[in-house]
Amino acid sequence: MMKGNGPPKREGKMRIRAFPANMDEKYVDTIWTLLKNAIQEIQKKNNSGLSFEELYRNAYTMVLHKRGERLYTGLKEVVTSHLENKVRQDVLQALNNNFLSTLNSSWSDHQTSMVMIRDILMYMDRVYVQQNDVDNVYNLGLSIFRDQVVRYNVIGDCLRTTLLELVARERRGEVVNRIAIRNACSMLMILGIDSRSVYEEDFERPFLQQSAEFYRLESQKFLAENSASVYIKKVEARIQEEVDRAQHYLDQSTEPRIVDVVETELIKKHMKTIVEMENSGVVHMLINQKTDDLACMYKLFSRLRDGLKTISECVSKYLREQGKGLVQEEEDSKQNEAAAATGLPCSGGTNAISFVQKLLDLKDRFDHFLKNSFGNDRIFKQVIAADFEYFLNLNPKSPEYLSLFIDDKLKKGVRGMSEQEIESVLDKAMVMFRFLQEKDVFERYYKQHLAKRLLLNKSVSDDCEKNMISKLKTECGCQFTSKLEGMFKDMTISNTYMEEMKEHLMNKGQTCVSGVDLNVRVLTTGFWPTQTVVPKCNIPTAPREAFEEFRRFYLGKHSGRQLTLQAQLGSADLNAFFYGSMRPSGKADDGASGGGIEMASTSSGTFSVVGGSKQPRKHIIQVSTYQMCVLMLFNNQDRLTYEEIASETDIPERDLIRALQSLAMGKSSQRVLLKHPKTKEIEPSNIFCVNDNFYSKLHRVKIQTVASRGETEPERKETRTKVDEDRKHEIEAAIVRVMKARKRMQHNSLVAEVTQQLKARFLPHPMVIKKRIEGLIEREYLARTPEDRKIYTYVA
């Protein structure tokens, strides 16, 4: 195939002889020797006397005359022998002395010479190398250098240990020749020829292994010696160090790898240990308000996939413990509840307020962490919310307490909070409200408390009240608040009635009836937490007449309506006279009250005097309507037994006991009645009489009703029953709503849908929903399909 020279040409025609048409082996040898010498000169750095043009031409000639292979193998041999005999020997000699710099300088020499050689043999690169698909000249040089020098038995090991040793020394704090390492690393990268395999095998892998080993030991040492926060700072520093190292003298691609090793060894393997470290872990940081430490930990752990989960779990555990503690603390005060049940004063009110306040404080604390430590991370936000929801709903009294808390803030009080302060507290309370599952229970209590504020005129301001209602409306929709808004409307309309009533009396030439200044609130049934069965109560003559006058007036305007007196909601101001300690005498009360279609009233009246020589002390006593009824009895009689009072007034037992407790057993500055004997319980035979020695600095004495805040246990049960009853209807309504729209539905999807619809108000138990479904089947609103029991159809 190499038949270059054909037979001699016959024609004598002038021909241009193809340049070395024919090359005999001798000539080739000559050229090759020339080239070989030149290459060796280059390797000896004696290249100044060489003619680049000539060498190039020679190489060209060889390739052109199909001597490419010869040239290529020749080159390989020359380079190999140079590296084997010269360079490797040099490096080996420097093995224990100046190894790295020797290697680096050999490497740079090799690179320089290979560039020159490549230039000379460029034609071969272009033609022979491409045709035969072999390494080009430069890469050939690289692979020979790699195999004959860098990977030549001891050299490879020595290089690796040297590099690792240097890194280790730097980690220990010594200063090392970073440039030498960088050169070595870049050499390894280049020797890989388009891949990082050489770097990886000869350096990176052992490096990572060694690092892992190093950090494994270090983590143990660190953990044993340091607190969590110090540990975290050290880890942070280490990571930064490794990043610097990778950037400065390793290959860039090593950075994520080495960081990963550090993270794994220093954090991931010890995540739980760090987080749960006693006296310094997350709990410690939370307790001691170590916001910054937590932030560091958050930053560090966010590098790892499960890192934040681990922290959040720990936070959650602590939060739940705290929350449960708060919630159960409340449970512990069961004695108070028992006391309230028997009618004794209870601290339920203050408890409710501190209960909510403590929860709000806890929320504030964790919001602070969330914002300043955890960068408002979604995971933490959710965890905190879920935890609050969890423990807030552990205590069935939470809805009541929250309403009491809001009641406390909206009540006219001595606290003197500005509207902005109230506003911000209410906003926080709304956050708690969102966590409540039983919003319907809250609504019930809120209605009760709002009614009391409105009827007893205790609201701090209408604006605040309306503001709160609009907050509830935003949260739960207008269905939730329509009745509350109705209550406000009733109040406004009642004011108009009172104006008109006054005018009406003026026209008749009166200012008041029977000396009673009557104030009536007409309450629409359904809006207010009134009782359908109105408790009986014998109202004294004077206020009763005043009320009858109003009734005539009102029914004259609205015939066909029904007006019922809700005595339990009313209050009265009484003028009272006490005749000192000189001698026992009577005292007189007068006044009036009313209650609400349903009405509540406040009134003030005159008094009567029963003898007495000394100048009497005059007081205005503010009492409930029930108490008024009791006190007025003493206008006619000096002493009465409990039984007598009960039969005269007809007040329900529980309310009467409560009324008497605050009159006779409250604070001494409010004790206008005396009880014999002075026991704690009220017995039917106990005798009550006016406390003539009553003394108070205040002209206007308000009789605090005991146990008015917070429900007693029986009341609570009653409320619960009512709530359950309401829920039945709400669940049924929801089922019918869903089924009316869907016509046909599978059991589980129906339950899910109903739960979803009612979620905003309460969380119905599936079993309860099922019972309602059965009820509806029984009443033939729904039916099971004949083919599948689990599918219901809507029966129109």
Chain residues that interact with another protein, rule: CB under 8 A? 747-748, 766-767, 770-771, 774, 777-778, 784, 789-790
Q: Please, are residues 454 and 494 in contact by the beta-carbon 8 Å criterion? A: no
For residue 297, which amino acid is it?
Answer: M
What are all long-range contacts of 234-239, with beta carbons under 8 Å and residues at least 24 apart? 235/262, 235/266, 235/267, 235/300, 236/296, 236/299, 236/300, 238/262, 238/266, 239/263, 239/266, 239/300
In terms of Cα–Cα distance, which of 310, 221, 273 is closest to 213? 221
Provide the token pair at 358.
């403590």
Q: In the complex with another protein, which residue's Cβ is closer, 114 or 751?
A: 751
Give DSSP secondary structure letters for 592-607.
--B---EEEEEEE---
Q: In the complex with another protein, which residue's Cβ is closer, 233 or 770?
A: 770
| Least distance (Å) between residue 738 CB and another protein | 15
Q: How many CA atoms lie within 13 A of 440 on its CB side?
A: 20
| Least distance (Å) between residue 789 CB and another protein | 6
Q: What DSSP state is assigned to residue 516?
A: B
User: 67: helix, coil or strand?
Assistant: coil
- Considering just the CA atoms, what is the radius of gyration of the chain in Å? 49
How many C-beta atoms surround the C-beta of residue 655 within 10 A? 18
Q: In the complex with another protein, which residue's Cβ is closer, 50 or 791?
A: 791
| Least distance (Å) between residue 485 CB and another protein | 38
Provide the token pair at 366.
């964790």
Q: In the complex with another protein, which residue's Cβ is closer, 162 or 746?
A: 746
| Least distance (Å) between residue 750 CB and another protein | 9
Give DSSP secondary structure letters for 452-470.
HHHHTT-BS-HHHHHHHHH
User: 641: helix, coil or strand?
Assistant: strand
| Least distance (Å) between residue 724 CB and another protein | 16
Residues with Cβ within 8 Å of residue 781, at least 6 apart in sequence: 736, 739, 794, 795
| Least distance (Å) between residue 772 CB and another protein | 10
| Least distance (Å) between residue 352 CB and another protein | 36
| Least distance (Å) between residue 339 CB and another protein | 34
Q: In the complex with another protein, which residue's Cβ is closer, 33 or 748?
A: 748
Q: Please, are residues 782 and 792 in contact by the beta-carbon 8 Å criterion? A: yes
Q: In the complex with another protein, which residue's Cβ is closer, 167 or 769?
A: 769
Provide the token pair at 714.
């029986």
Q: What DSSP state is assigned to residue 268?
A: G
Q: Please, are residues 229 and 300 in contact by the beta-carbon 8 Å criterion? A: no
Kindly report the backbone phi and psi dihedral angles of residue 215, in degrees, each rounded to the nearest multiple of 5, phi listed first: -75, -25
Q: In the complex with another protein, which residue's Cβ is closer, 599 or 782?
A: 782
Q: In the complex with another protein, which residue's Cβ is closer, 619 or 772?
A: 772
| Least distance (Å) between residue 390 CB and another protein | 24
| Least distance (Å) between residue 778 CB and another protein | 5
Cα gap 299→738, rounded to integer Å = 48
Q: In the complex with another protein, which residue's Cβ is closer, 713 or 788?
A: 788
| Least distance (Å) between residue 766 CB and another protein | 8
Cα gap 353→34, rounded to integer Å = 104
Could you tell me whether strands 517-523 and 598-604 are parallel, antiparallel, or unpaired per DSSP bridges? Answer: antiparallel
Q: How many residues are given for the chain?
A: 796
| Least distance (Å) between residue 761 CB and another protein | 22
| Least distance (Å) between residue 751 CB and another protein | 8
Cα gap 630→640, rounded to integer Å = 10
For residue 616, is the peptide bond before it cis, meaning its omega torsion is within 30 degrees of 0? Answer: no
Residues with Cβ within 8 Å of residue 106, at least 6 apart in sequence: 87, 90, 91, 149
Cα gap 569→446, rounded to integer Å = 16
Q: In the complex with another protein, which residue's Cβ is closer, 79 or 751?
A: 751
Q: In the complex with another protein, which residue's Cβ is closer, 415 or 771?
A: 771
Q: In the complex with another protein, which residue's Cβ is closer, 737 or 771?
A: 771
For residue 666, which amino acid is it?
Answer: G
| Least distance (Å) between residue 744 CB and another protein | 14
Q: How far is CA 434 from CA 257, 387, 405, 759, in A?
A: 45, 13, 15, 11
Residues with Cβ within 8 Å of residue 485, at least 6 apart in sequence: 469
Burial of 58 from C-beta contacts in 10 A (0-12 / 13-18 / 19+): buried
| Least distance (Å) between residue 788 CB and another protein | 9
Q: In the complex with another protein, which residue's Cβ is closer, 463 or 788?
A: 788
| Least distance (Å) between residue 361 CB and another protein | 41
How many C-beta atoms surround the C-beta of residue 586 within 10 A? 21
